Structure 1
């Protein structure tokens, strides 16, 4: 086997290769080390439960590593040209085969060599030896996508015999020589890992197959990394390689952190004091008690008002659940990059506390499209050359290997956007890696109320797969419709392989309106915690207000000073109100915040806002803040009085959470919390922007159930359940039409979601990966995948600069930029273009115009690592740019505005 190559390359005129035998041994050793030192106990147990005992589970895992590239022992592979098109290298390696008796291989010309790619060919060879399809399908899928049908495998040896044996004549000595050598590799693998014959290889459940395929891909990538496992010179004697030294050296170069083993603790009160410096509140303590009491903990849903410490409750839950279920990491998913960035420092501090206690290094990853530009994340030391055994104290590090687009999810502790979780339900190449990464962890999903019906389809399916892996999931929400609560629990429960009708569950699971509320699964039981200490609440007055009354009401309310917030549903409406209100109250008293500011400017605006009206801030005498949904989602700010466009009830309550948020002294006129709702209409003639965002049906129901007073927190769940209930209310023909339109709309969304959504796990008679990723999402890029799971049209992001007399500068500066110095800073000045330029009809032309413009004007950006692949626009002296028939204008106070250009004639 030492005359067969697995890898080959020419570098600077020197020829290198790696014998197939060496690569098979490398991969088998690496996957074995990953089993021992990286895989969590919970993941191992999943495989062990499939095969019977741990020794056999590890052996079958290493056998996969050893046999994964067995089909490189075929003429179809051995005659492949090197990537560098090195004729000399190719010739020398073919001559090695000629000398070993494979006469004619140097001049062989196969008709269809690409019909037998080595992953597919490996599966075909294994099945010809009688290996079961659960094992063989892992080999067939180890390059990212399993085969689509059994037929694709069964026709291989019959239809493309020459690809496997050089010619089709079975009696030919060369044909037999290939067949014998291939069987030798197989038999060596069996003997090496203690399997008597092919029938001794155990059948695996589908969920175990996914985990092992992910682990195999990971091991193959590590073993194929020349920085860890170098190739050898073409004339070097490979027999001189010390196998043990090669494996130890290579794996240590990759390996940076030990498996996190959460420590047991005596009581929750002490743990809270150690982690956060305070004793747990009642809601936090009850969640911890529920986890402690559960013998088979699964999914936990915590519904509680803003400000009770749900984040800290989730972090303690992670420690508890990891200990009980054998997990060794965490994924904490939030709706947006802004919310992910906002919580990252808190989780970093929590993890630092853990690593100090355990005296272990742990790796922390921020996972979203702009993570590399986050200063807090960038400050974490890179784990290069760390001597793990020599560390006296644990530290937080990042392992560079996990910064790849497809490897990031494999890191141990991750804060990221929820897309990273939803993508586990989207058929994409290398999906097994995402499942491998998530199945290692405790999963926390925050602000679930913010996800729409379409995203819900991916959320439910991702939750179901977590159930299949036994991964504990924590869902956090301030306001959750009961139907969605039941769907979350039901999908997790079904993922465990049980039937929903057999679950022991409360009769009122979907209509329970106790608040706070903890709902969780424990084996075949669904439990709810409804009794909590009575919370000291407050009452909010609700007033409906016409737009033409807004200025007068503001004038009266703020005559004695105070901070007013106005939250509207679209950027354009926010900009229009900014013009109107600043004209009356003065620019110095009005601020605007929305998503159409350049990213750096938006961060500065948020920071500035927090410094003025955040917790413990020194508040100005008078200020009016106008913003969009970005205010409701992520900022811990406090208004004395609040105005809002009509929106679905749960979102209105989220907005109310920014009203009288903290215990502070307020202006005399604003001591009573008042919430004014704009855009209500008895004839249901709602604002066009609000209709486009939320639809008539929910706006109608919210308006109908919106009371004149809301008691916080006791009314929260009742109002949300009423709004989202399926009961009939008499609001006339317009309402019935809106309800029908909503049902059709949601049905279309659900059907569209199912197009590329992963099917259910562990279907009966489905113990393999064949067809697992059939009809995948056609675009493998993560950005398009994120758009797919969010049901958003592809939004185009650009870097914005302005023209100067001598070069270019940032929009809010006048100094010319030097790309060699300023590239990273420049890369943070991004903005999303308006959706008008990103519709299905417009997007291709928009991108085409941008690409042509960038090649002509910004070609030098592509040689800068921070800017490579980015698109940019240069604003003219009027801060304008013409693109695909639209004139874009950027204003430091307004943000980005756009108008369609008039076409003359």
Structure 2
């Protein structure tokens, strides 16, 4: 049955609150013409239960006003000028509209489906005439008719009726409510049924109360009527998603009961009080405003201003071109290794931020290891641009706890801080953050919202996935300059997410700077087209050849034509001699021992390092690198070191730091008399070391050139006489007899495909006969040759090459289709006008590991801490005791974190089934979700059916049992 009652309004006159508060709210109710009964009902509708309101229920109107007040502060102190200008164009009065949209988000809580969840408050509602049939409105209907969906229907109904809004405005604004819990689904017939049933509130009393909540909030925000709120335009879909992200941000901040305790009495609810609460919360959080006081740099050598040296020709070219842009756009900077692309990108970013009203940067790197030095560079740059801004920088990757600079920024107690970050709930209603200033950005999904962010490129690619709360990532990129380094490293699978992200960034007018040693012409054209498809959909982009190297390519909406230019490099060409080091083990019918297989490399090093020197050997797989290292260590002892991804975090970090000191550009540390570094692809990107000699497995030409860039990299390095000519030996390759196609090592083909390797091999063999390559001037033509359509292999290889290309094309198409399943936009819907139905299906990716699997290659890998079990209990790898159940001692947390490693993808399934946290970790917010790989005192153990062993020198090995 329907309960009908009323609530005596007389209590309002005796509540002890400031007179002006009562007057403000009573004036609002007077303008609405509310009866005492209607005010009674407004005073019963709750927004936060006592459990989430700090022990006291918070009325719905109170929470809506709190959120709007937070939104005003976001506008005043956080949003970039470009974002504010966009909202002003859309709404006229952008600030007031922004606050209204953020505050209206919870109007759907004015339904029986939501209000039933607090029994005490539900009883008050029944007495006030807002009841429901308990057998119909149940826990199930509360789940099915969640308040985000209910709010979308409710707002649509009210705006269409008494609000008098047009359909175009209703269609894009209502998803700001229905999607504020992170998912944007299309309406279904089931939703329509709920909207006309008891779960939504079918009685006249409920419908009136719902309308009054919206109207009362609207008047409290200073509007004369709902009609006045209607925006004057429809923003781009990317701008809608950005706005929704800020709605979520405002809601999460205002959901903090520590700063916004419950207010149970309607007479105490007011805009003024909400603003006081919000101001106190904002001051306590100190979220920061980013680069908001940029100084004009026109006519200035920005590189010299920020980095202390005159701009090189390529740097001056890039800055000059960007100063001619009339709107934010895409800039592609291609330059050789060591040219100073990072400084160029930051200088260009400053010019863009100043010209286009932006307040921050995101720098995306290919790996966690390359993100760390970039974090240092960005902080140093920010301190020059706006002193103090460097303290707002956030490092975004899973290993940031090991970064010395990051730990220092967190005032020393980083372990406790990281524990607090991980314990925060992700749901908006559960996000009650009670820790210190600026830590808010370190909670789940919030990192990109910080103004200065550095992390892996994955952080950007996540913004192109159809995942929950993707709008927070979009909002985090708005108002920034996006810089992506080493974009050539994105394979066809990752490129689908990169192009999707560029589409949304182009539509949102977010400028993007892409850095690469060189890009295949087709890839450069695809990336530019993807950005412009969002920025200026009606335009077809046709890029011309830059004509030289280094070069700059620039596109932006409204441009007369794409702009391309080139200049001379700052250093002369390096004549690199190429030699093929055959591998007899690749010949059919030959079975060799490990020593025999590595004998060609041993013989080479015996000869070339007779007088000392530093050699770099790059293998394509960890197992191959370990085999090489074992054989070389047996011969050269401690002169040999290995670096790859199957070392513990601490071992890899320490080893990397030591190698950079020994072989890097800084001459403070003496260069070793002899050193042999065996590495995997970790030495391929942003690893600034100088080798006298390189031996490398065959790889596609762009990656091979990256490796070549490590030979004789630094000027002024003293080298043995026999190593004064830069030489690179290519392995994993056995030339065919009588001109037949070569044999290529199986692991290389598995990783890169035979198609690109055959084309690269033909260039390598040709270079061996021609004397080598001139680096960097030949780089563009070499890359274009391998990735182009013109045949480059000898006629005797043609049949093999055609078969390899057919297989390659089929595999590429398969991977494109696989990636399409997870892209933010469904095929054919890039022209959609609203966000309704954006989450047409779920990716079920909730953790960083799952997300990384989505945007990388679909294979999830997990991390585990290596632990030793002895008769006396557990210990760390270094022998620190952990007790019988692994109970954590605070001093051991740093050590345990350093003993963590990412397991090979092949072990993932077994690790998920067989590895778990130690019993003593159950109460720790980080360790309770961290798996332990338990080893015996000999460092051997098992992961399901795989036997594993860890060697501190060579890393993890595994074999199927």
Same fold (TM over 0.5): yes
Q: Residue 180 and residue 351 in structure 1: after superposition, are their counterparts in 2 closer, same or farther (change >3 A)?
A: same
> Where in structure 2 are the equivalents of 1:807-826 lying within 5 Å?
807-813=873-879, 819-826=889-896
Structure 2 counterpart of 1:888: 948
Q: 1:379 is paired with a residue of what secondary structure?
A: helix
* Matching residue of 1:366: 395
1:215-244 deviation digits (Å, cap 9, x = unpaired):
111111111111221124x68974599444
| 1:425 corresponding residue in structure 2 | 464
Q: Which runs of 5+ in 1 are unaligned?
A: 82-89, 169-174, 385-396
Does structure 2 retain, via aligned residues, the 8 Å contact 1:823–1:864?
no
Instruction: Give the secondary structure class of the aligned counterpart of 1:811.
Output: coil
Aligned partners of 2:639, 2:398: CA distance in 1, in Å? 35
Describe how 1:290-309 pairs up with structure 2 within 5 A.
290-309=321-340
2:694 corresponds to which residue?
A: 642
Would the aligned equivalents of 1:660 and 1:673 in 2 still touch at CA under 8 Å? yes
Q: Choose from 825, 831, 834 the match for 1:768.
A: 834
Distance 1:788 1:103, change over 3 A: closer
Change (3 A) 1:263 1:197: closer
Equivalent residue for 2:802? 736
Using the TM superposition, give the Cα deviation of residue 814 of structure 1 relative to its aligned residue in structure 2, in angstroms: 6.5
State the 1:715 CA deviation.
Answer: 0.6
In structure 1, distance between residues paired with 2:487 and 2:511: 16
Q: TM-score, normalised by structure 2?
A: 0.84
Deviation at 1:187, TM superposition (A): 2.4
Q: Secondary structure at the match of 1:774?
A: coil
Deviation of the 1:576 alpha carbon: 0.9
Does the alignment pair 1:849 with 2:914? yes
Compared CA separation, residues 383 and 106, structure 1 to 2 (3 A): farther
Q: Residues 11 and 457 (structure 1 numbering): CA distance in 2 closer, same or farther, change over 3 Å?
A: closer
> Partner of 2:184 in structure 1?
146
Change (3 A) 1:164 1:550: closer
Question: Matches of 1:354 and 1:211 in 2, distance apart?
Answer: 26
Whole-angstrom CA distance in 2 between matches of 1:644 and 1:63? 60
What is the alpha-carbon distance in structure 2 between the residues aligned to residue 460 and residue 239 of structure 1? 47
In 1, are the aligned partners of 2:223 and 2:229 still within 8 Å (CA)?
A: no
Q: Which residue of 2 aligns with 1:538?
A: 574
Distance 2:147 2:881 in 1: 56
- Among residues 647, 652, 676, which one is paired with 1:624 in the alignment? 676
User: Is 1:325 the equivalent of 2:360?
Assistant: no
Conserved 8 A contact 1:540-1:710: yes
1:473 alignment partner, one of 512, 522, 536: 512
Mean Cα deviation higher: 679-688 or 891-900: 679-688
1:791 lines up with 2:857 in the alignment: yes
Matched, 1:527 2:563: yes
Measured against aligned partners, the alpha-carbon deviations of 1:178-227 in whole angstroms (never above 9, x if no partner) come to 11111122223444443644586235232232121111111111111112
Q: Secondary structure at the match of 1:444?
A: strand
- Inter-partner Cα distance in structure 1 for 2:724 and 2:881: 47
Aligned-partner SS, 1:500 = coil
The answer as to whether partners of 2:618 and 2:695 remain within 8 angstroms in 1 is yes
- Residue of structure 1 equivalent to 2:787: 724
Query: In the alignment, what sits opposite 2:417?
Result: none
User: Contact conserved, 1:797 with 1:833, CA < 8 A, in 2?
Assistant: yes
Cα pair distance change 1:210/1:383, threshold 3 Å: farther
Give the alignment's TM-score, normalised by structure 1.
Answer: 0.89
Distance, in Å, in 1 between the alignment partners of 2:639 and 2:473 is 48
SS at match of 1:331: strand
SS at match of 1:333: strand
**Corresponding residue number in structure 2 for 1:87:** none
CA contact (8 A) 2:50 2:58 kept: no
> What are the ranges of 5 or more consecutive residues in structure 2 without an aligned counterpart?
1-41, 414-435, 584-598
Q: CA separation of 1:554/1:361 partners in 2, compared to 1, >3 Å: closer, same or farther?
A: closer
1:450 corresponds to which of 489, 492, 495: 489
Distance 2:533 2:389 in 1: 36
Equivalents in 1 of 2:487, 2:44: separation in Å? 57
- Do 1:214 and 1:432's aligned partners in 2 also have CA atoms closer than 8 Å? yes
Alpha-carbon spacing, 1:550–1:820, altered in 2? closer, same or farther (3 Å): closer
Residue 583 in 1 paired to residue 634 in 2?
A: yes
Q: State the Cα distance separating 1:824 from its structure 2 match.
A: 2.8
Aligned equivalent of 1:171: none
Other structure's SS at 2:57 match: strand
1:831-873: per-residue Cα shift (whole Å, max 9, x none)?
A: 12233222xxxx1x4312113xx4xxx2102323442311112
In structure 2, the residue corresponding to 1:68 is in which secondary structure? Answer: helix
RMSD (Å), alpha carbons: 2.6
8 Å contact 2:113–2:137 — kept in the other structure? Answer: no
- Determine if contact 2:867/2:934 at 8 Å carries over to the other structure: yes
Q: What is residue 106 of structure 2 aligned with on the other side?
A: 69
| Aligned partner of residue 151 in structure 2, secondary structure | helix
1:535-614 counterparts in 2 under 5 A? 535-547=571-583, 548-584=599-635, 586-614=636-664
What do the CA deviations read for 1:374-400 (whole angstroms, capped 9, x no partner)? 22112115799xxxxxxxxxxxx9710
**Corresponding residue for residue 755 of structure 2:** 697
SS of aligned partner of 1:204:
coil
**1:434-481 deviations in whole A, cap 9, x for unaligned?**
000011211000011111111001001101111001001000101211
Q: What SS is found at the alignment partner of 1:164?
A: coil
Which one of 46, 59, 81 corresponds to residue 41 of structure 1? 81
The alignment partner of 2:261 has SS state of coil
What does 1:57-96 correspond to in 2, within 5 Å? 57-81=94-118, 90-91=119-120, 93-96=121-124
The more displaced of 645-654 and 809-818 is 809-818
What does the per-residue CA deviation read over 1:149-195, in whole Å, with 9 as the maximum and x for residues that have no partner?
3656544433xx21222xx5xxxxxx211111111222234444436
Q: State the SS of the aligned residue for 1:643.
A: strand
Q: 1:243 to 1:218 in 2, by over 3 A?
A: closer
Structure 2 counterparts to residues 195-214 of structure 1, below 5 A: 196-198=225-227, 201-202=230-231, 203-205=233-235, 206-214=237-245
Which residue in 2 is equivalent to 1:118? 147
Helix, strand or coil at the partner of 2:915? helix
Deviation at 1:874, TM superposition (A): 2.3
Whole-Å Cα distance in 2 between the matches of residues 449 and 199 of structure 1? Answer: 50
